[in-house]
Amino acid sequence: MAVHDKAAEHINPYEVAKRQYDRAVAYLDLPQGIVDFLRVPKRELSTNFPVRMDNGDIRVFTGYRVHHNTVLGPSKGGIRYALSVDIDEVRALAMWMTWKCALVGLPYGGAKGGVVCDPYSMTQGELERLTRRYAAEISILISPHGDIPAPDMGTNPQTMAWIMDTYSMTVGYSVPAIVTGKPINVGGSQGRTEATGRGVVICMHEALRRAGHNNPAEISVAIQGFGNVGTYAAKHAFDLGYKVLAVSDVTGGYYNANGLDVDDVMAYTATSENHWLRGYPNADEISNEELLALECDVLAPCALENQITEKNANDVKAFLIVEGANGPTTPEADDILFSKGVDIIPDVLANAGGVTVSYFEWVQGLQSFFWDVEEVNRQLGRVLIKAYDEVARNKDEHNVDMRTAAQITAIKRVSDATVTRGIYP
């Protein structure tokens, strides 16, 4: 994952999420009690648990699982392994998941989880023991009809397989629908691995089409982040004929003025240490900060939150930003970019491809009936374009930016469902 270090600025993602919510909810005539209810998490779990390391030592790790809302259905959200994980980050990510699921019409609420650790410094055995113990700790919250985890930064299909197996051993029978993002041979879905990155490019392509840019070869793209999201965004854009100028990860950025051969980049990372870009030979090395300020048409931040702030928003030269990451742009940066005429396809729309195909996987798991990749991709495109249409209509109706329009759309759906269900008891 690419990291534009913002630690010194202490930007709290939960405060960002709440400020975005406050901007959007101001356009809706909701009872104050409903406004207050949707602004805070439903429940939070914090756990400290021991893990035996390979050398025999026992280390204590901290983990979280947060349910923001369950009005529309069971909560859904990824699990993140990173040293940066804290409760406010998990709260923010869970809140964004609520709006994301509502926006694309999925019968889910939002959740998120995380463990404070450095997965890249741990062995496979240590990661398995950590994952199984964490799964046991959060088992009081997760279930195939209550809360369904998925992969996020620092986790992968193998992580999900361990969680599925741990939960299944606890209940005494196999429960494939307890997680999504699993390997295909234990009930995963075709098309799930590349779904988030593919969805980023589906939204990018739609935005460009509506703006009259119909020739991909004339459009240059810079992608920050070359993890799961950035890799497959770059791959799909490259396959469609877009010129991918630059990609980056935690080791730095790589730029080629004539366009990168993304297949070659992927082949390099497939065999490099931790699948990092470090040392890629067929491009010029640049910093992550330089990548964000490149002369390009489209910028796709696909790494961490708070990458574009008031300190660097004026340096952005792209006319379109497509947010593959969660919360990569702060509200102050939104205002600067909007004043410059930069369009932003917000995270809750642009990166909703992952949770959409996770929903498809969940449905397939519950029914034990599986689709081919063509059907998955067809349905993914249908869901995202329909959501894009609805956001565009709200943008015009309220005369707001796309982020606010997306959140207006999502918040209204959750608030309407809350009012219809009523307040128990």
Residues assigned a catalytic role:
112
* Ordered DSSP codes for 105-172: T-S-EEEEEEEES-GGGS-HHHHHHHHHHHHHHHTTT-BTTTEEEEE-TT--HHHHHHHHHHHHHHHT
3-state secondary structure of 320: strand
My answer on whether omega of the bond before 13 falls inside 30° of 0, hence cis, is no
Contacts (Cβ under 8 Å, ≥6 apart) of 176 = 164, 182, 186, 187, 365
Which of 61, 62, 63, 90 has the alpha carbon at shortest distance from 78? 90
d(CA 425, CA 409): 28
d(CA 195, CA 14): 26
For residue 134, give both structure tokens: 């964490």
Q: In the numeric block, which tokens belong to residue 413?
A: 């759906």
Assigned token pair, 240:
């469609």
Beta bridge partners of 63: 47, 115
Q: Rounded to whole angstroms, how far apart are CA atoms 71 and 41? A: 12
What tokens does 272 get? 């490099």
Amino acid at 69: N
Q: Would you give the end-to-end CA distance of the chain in angstroms?
A: 45
* Cβ pair 15, 39 in contact under 8 A: no
Integer Cα distance of 268 and 270 in angstroms: 5
Which residue from 109, 110, 87, 115 is spatially nearest to 14, judged by alpha carbons?
A: 87
Beta bridge partners of 110: 76
What HEC string does 213-231 produce? Answer: CCCHHHCEEEEECCCHHHH
